[in-house]
Amino acid sequence: MLNLKVQKRDVLGKQVKTLRQKGEIPVSMYGPGNDPINLLANGDELLKIVREAGTNKVITVDFDGKKYSVLVREVQYHPVSANLVHVSLYRLDMDKPVNVEVPFKIEGVSMAVKNNVGFLVNPLDLLPIRALPSQIPEYLVIDISKMDNIGDSVLVKDLVLEKGIELQPKVKLNLAIVTIVPPQKEIVEEVKAVAATTTETAEGADAPAKPVEGAEVASAVAKVDAKPAKKDKDEKQNKR
Confidence of residue 187 (pLDDT cuts 50, 70, 90): low
- Please check whether residue 207 lies inside any domain of the structure: no
Same domain assignment for residues 182 and 104: yes
| The last residue of a domain, from among 167, 187, 207 | 187
Same domain assignment for residues 6 and 87: yes
199-224 residue pLDDT tens = 444 444 444 443 333 334 333 333 43
Contact 132, 170 (CB under 8 A): no
Beta pairing class for 153-155 and 176-181: antiparallel
| The last residue of a domain, from among 47, 72, 92 | 92
- Please check whether residue 211 lies inside any domain of the structure: no
3-state helix, strand, coil in the chain (%, to 5): 30, 35, 35
**CATH value at residue 111:** 2.170.120.20
Is residue 197 scored above 50 in pLDDT? yes
Radius of gyration of the chain (CA): 34
pLDDT of residue 92: 96
What range defines the domain where residue 47 resides?
A: 2-92
Number of structural domains the chain divides into: 2
Distances from the Cα of 228 to the Cαs of 125, 183, 214, 225, in angstroms?
Answer: 76, 68, 21, 6
Range of lowest pLDDT (94-98, 104-108, 150-154, 217-221): 217-221
- Please check whether residue 173 lies inside any domain of the structure: yes
Q: Give phi and psi for 31, each to the nearest 5.
A: 180, 165
